[in-house]
Amino acid sequence: MDQWLENEDEFNMEDIIARHQAMEEELEQEELKENTAELPEYPKEQWKKWEAVVEAVLFTMGGAVTIKQLAAALETDLKTAKAAAERLRSRYAEEERGMQIIQLEDSFQMCTRACYYENLIRVAAAPKKQALTDVVLETLSIIAYKQPVTKAEIEKIRGVKSDHAVNKLIEYNLVYEAGRLDAPGRPSLFATTEEFLRRFGVGSLTDLPEPSVEQVEEFRMEAEEEIQYTSEEKEDKALKETAAAEE
């Protein structure tokens, strides 16, 4: 999709998480019934034990755990493992716990609810916030909507060099090198990471918000302004160098 987001406001992590959680809470009970309806009838005690195992695994691992890994821990099939994780996620949501279970495509993860961030920073040092400038966000948007994408394609869309922005995104673990294009020179292909999904509170790339036509047009204008600014800056530098040489 040749679409991207306008600015950092569109990537407000707390707003996206809140919207995502609200939609999940409305659908998860329905999804849980659909998923478990196809499973054999297991005793309530068995489900309770499986949920406890999933909880222990997610807490201990810290990061995302695939359904395949959960199935190995439970010694069950994938469908049963997924159902157990979804039941645990549903219970956490119903009880409004401080922790939540989120699904990231084919994985589950335990994490703190964003609404308790203010309470946490009262007893812990606030983490260093990564500065996502407009240029970095624009580059991230292009990668998110067009991945996997080469640096040359990114620069063709933006009209300027994007080495710094791409390197920053890799440093922040929001983007990674997903492989190489089968073309002359074998340029690197870039895609978003699992951390990108966590940071912006989306379960998969299909959950990304759709930017409006106005936002896309404004982005194009900003890119053109940046090109003009870069050209003027280079011209000014060249004039200064010429003047210095003449002196």
The domain made up of 134-246 is a member of CATH 1.10.132.20: no
**Farthest-apart Cα atoms in the chain, separation:** 90
In this prediction, residue 210 has a pLDDT band, given cuts at 50, 70 and 90, of: confident
Residue 195 above 90 pLDDT? no
Segment 62-76 shows an average pLDDT of 93
Mean pLDDT of the chain: 78
Residue 1 above 80 pLDDT? no
Matching fold, domains 39-120 and 134-246: yes
DSSP string, 83-143: HHHHHHHHHHHHTT-SEEEEEETTEEEEEE-GGGHHHHTTTSPPPPPP---HHHHHHHHHH
> What pLDDT, on a 0 to 100 scale, did the predictor assign at position 202?
76
The domain made up of 39-120 is a member of CATH 1.10.10.10: yes
Domain locations in the chain as residue ranges: 39-120, 134-246
Tens-digit pLDDT profile for residues 34-65: 554 567 778 889 999 999 999 999 999 988 99
- Structure token digits, residue 225: 């302004």
- Single pTM value for the model: 0.50
Cα 28 from chain centroid? 21
Asked which of 116-130, 191-205, 222-236 is least confident by mean pLDDT, the reply is 222-236
Share of the chain above pLDDT 90, in %: 33
> What pLDDT, on a 0 to 100 scale, did the predictor assign at position 72?
95
- Structure token digits, residue 50: 């499986």
